Structure 1
Amino acid sequence: MKAALYRVFIELTNGPLTSAAIRGFANSRMSRLFIKSYAAFYKINQEEMAKDIQSFPTLHSFFTRHLKEGARKVDHNPDSVASPVDGIIEDTGTITSEKEIIAKGKSYSIAEMLGGKAQAEKYEGGTYIIIYLSPSHYHRIHSPVSGKVINCYSLGKRSFPVNRLGLKFGRSVLAKNHRVITEIASEKTTVALVKVGAMFINSVIVTNRNHEWEKGEEAAFFSFGSTVLLLFQKGAFVPGDIMKSSVEVRMGDPLGRLTGEKKH
C-alpha cells in the first residue's frame, strides 16, 4: 500500500506543468532570496566555492556552482578510477548474466537503461556503482577515467526521485528516468557513465563535447538532485577500500582501479 501511494503521489506531481513551474522559479530573480537559507539548511561549504554567495543571481545558478581550483584532488594514477561526483555510494555489485543490477532489493535492466541489448552485452558480468547526489552536494560531473568518448546519447523524458525512497518504491527509476549515457574507451576497457536526472527538474546538461576526456575533466552538470551510475566490463575493475555502501565520496577520490586487457 505504501509503495502504491508513493507512486500515485509522484505521478500526480511530476508532470510537465509542475516541472516547468519549479524550473521557472529556480531560474527567477525571486529565487535569489532563498539562496542563503538553502546554503544554511544544507550546510554548504562556502569556503570552497569559486564565487561569493552574494554573486549568484538565481537559486539555479547557485545550485550548479563551480568550485575553487584545487578544491578537489583527482587521483591521477593511470589505472585508477576517480569518483565523477561528490555523493554517497548507494550500492555496488555485479551485473548479472541476465544483464541486470540488483539495487536496494530491486532489479534494473541494463539493456533498458542503455537503450538496447547490444549496448548492454559488453557489461554482462561486470561491476556497477551507484552514487547519489543530494541537494547539499556539488552537482558538476567529471570524467572518471581518461579516454576517447565513443558514444553519448540521451534516453527517457520524465524523472522520478532517485533517493532511497525512490529506489525502494519507484518503478525502475534508474532505467526509465531521463538519462544521458556516455561511454569512454580507456587504454584497458570501456566505462559507461550514466547520468540520471531526478524528480521535477531532470535536466542533465552536457558541457564537454570533446572527443577525448582527461580524468577529472568536467563533463556535465545536473539541475537539482540526481544519481550517477558507473558500469564496468567483466574483470576490468578492482574496487578500492572506499567502496562501501553509504560511504560519502568527493569528486576525484579513487574508487578502485582498472585491470586486464582492453575489451571490445
Structure 2
Amino acid sequence: MKAALYRFFIELTNGPFTSAAIRKFTNSRMSRPFIKSYAAFYQINKEELAKDIHAYPTLHSFFTRRLKEGARKVDHIPDSVASPVDGIIEDAGTITSGREIIAKGKSYSIAEMLGGKLQAEKYEGGTYIIIYLSPSHYHRIHSPVSGRVVNCYSLGKRSFPVNRLGLKFGRSVLAKNYRVITEISSEKTTVALVKVGAMLINSVVVTNRKHEWKKGEEAAYFSFGSTVLLLFQKGAFVPGDLMKPSCEIRMGDPLGRLTGGK
C-alpha cells in the first residue's frame, strides 16, 4: 500500500508541465531572492564558493555552482579511484551473475541500465557503488579515474526520486530514469560512470567532450539532486576505508583502488 501511494503521488507531481514550471522558475531572476534562504536551510559552506553568494543571478546558477580552487583535494595515487561527487554512499556490492545489482532490497538490471546485454556483460561479477546527492551537495561531477572516454550516451525520458524512498518504493529508478552513461578506459580496466537524473528535472549537462579525462577533471553537472553509480569489472576494484553505507564523502576522496579486470 505504501509503495502504491508513493508512486501515485509522484506520478501526479512529476509531469512535463510541473517540470517545465520548476525549470523556468529556477532559471529566472525571480528565484534570486531565494538563494540566501536556500543556502541557510541546507547549511551550504559559503567559504567554498567560487563567487560571492550575491553574484549568482538565479537559483539554478547557485545550485550548479563551482567551488574555489583547492576546495576539494583529489587523491592522485595512480591506481586510486576518486569519488566523482560530493554525496552519501547509499549502497555498494557485487553485480550478480545475472547482471543485476541489489540495492535497498530491490533488483536492478545492469543490462536495462546500460541499454543492452552486450554493454552489461563486461561488468558481470564486478562491483557497483551508488552515491546519492541531496540538494545540499555540490552538484558538479568529476572523473573518478584517468583514462580514455570510449563511450558516452544517454537513455530514458522521465525521472523519479532517487533518494531512499525512491530506491525503496520506485519502479527501477536507477535503470529507468533519464541517465547519461560514460565509460572510461584506464590502463588497467574499464569503469562506467552512470549519472542518473532525479525527480522533475532530467537535466544531466555534460561539460567535458574531450576524449581523454584526468582524474578529478570536471565532466558534467546535475540540475537537481540526483545519483551517480560507478560500475567496475570483475576483480578490478578493491574498496577502501570510506566504502561504508551512509558514509558522507566529498569529491576527490579515495573510494578504493583499481587492480585490473577481466
TM-score band, normalised by shorter chain: over 0.9
Q: Distance in 2 between matches of 1:25 and 1:202?
A: 15
Q: Which residue does 2:234 correspond to in 1?
A: 234
1:49-89 CA-to-partner distances (Å, cap 9, x unmatched) read 10000000000000000000000000000000000000000
Q: Which residue does 1:245 correspond to in 2?
A: 245
Q: Distance in 2 between matches of 1:5 and 1:246?
A: 26
Q: Distance in 2 between matches of 1:10 and 1:156?
A: 17
Show the 5 A alignment for 1:1-264.
Answer: 1-260=1-260, 263=262
Identity within the alignment, %: 88
Shift of 1:226: 0.3
Unaligned runs of 5+ in 1: none
Q: Distance in 2 between matches of 1:149 and 1:143?
A: 10
- Given residue 139 of structure 1, which amino acid in structure 2 is its aligned partner? H
- Given residue 253 of structure 2, which amino acid in structure 1 is its aligned partner? D
Q: Over aligned residues, Cα RMSD in angstroms? A: 0.5
Q: Distance in 2 between matches of 1:219 and 1:241?
A: 25
1:175-199 CA-to-partner distances (Å, cap 9, x unmatched) read 0000000000000000000000000
| Count of residues paired in the alignment | 262
TM-score for the superposition, normalised by structure 2: 0.99
Q: Distance in 1 between matches of 2:259 and 2:156?
A: 33
1:92-121 CA-to-partner distances (Å, cap 9, x unmatched) read 000000000000000000000000000000
Shift of 1:28: 0.7
- What secondary structure does 1:84 align onto? coil
- What secondary structure does 2:22 align onto? helix
Shift of 1:224: 1.1
Shift of 1:251: 0.1
Q: Distance in 1 between matches of 2:9 and 2:22?
A: 17
Shift of 1:223: 0.4
Task: After the TM superposition, list the runs of 4 or more consecutive aligned residues in structure 1 that deviate by more than 4 angstroms.
Answer: none
Shift of 1:131: 0.1
Q: Distance in 1 between matches of 2:259 and 2:212?
A: 20
Q: Distance in 2 between matches of 1:98 and 1:26?
A: 41
Q: Distance in 1 between matches of 2:157 and 2:15?
A: 11
Shift of 1:202: 1.4
Q: Distance in 2 between matches of 1:38 and 1:3?
A: 30
TM-score for the superposition, normalised by structure 1: 0.99
- Given residue 220 of structure 1, which amino acid in structure 2 is its aligned partner? A
- What secondary structure does 2:194 align onto? strand
Q: Distance in 1 between matches of 2:12 and 2:100?
A: 29
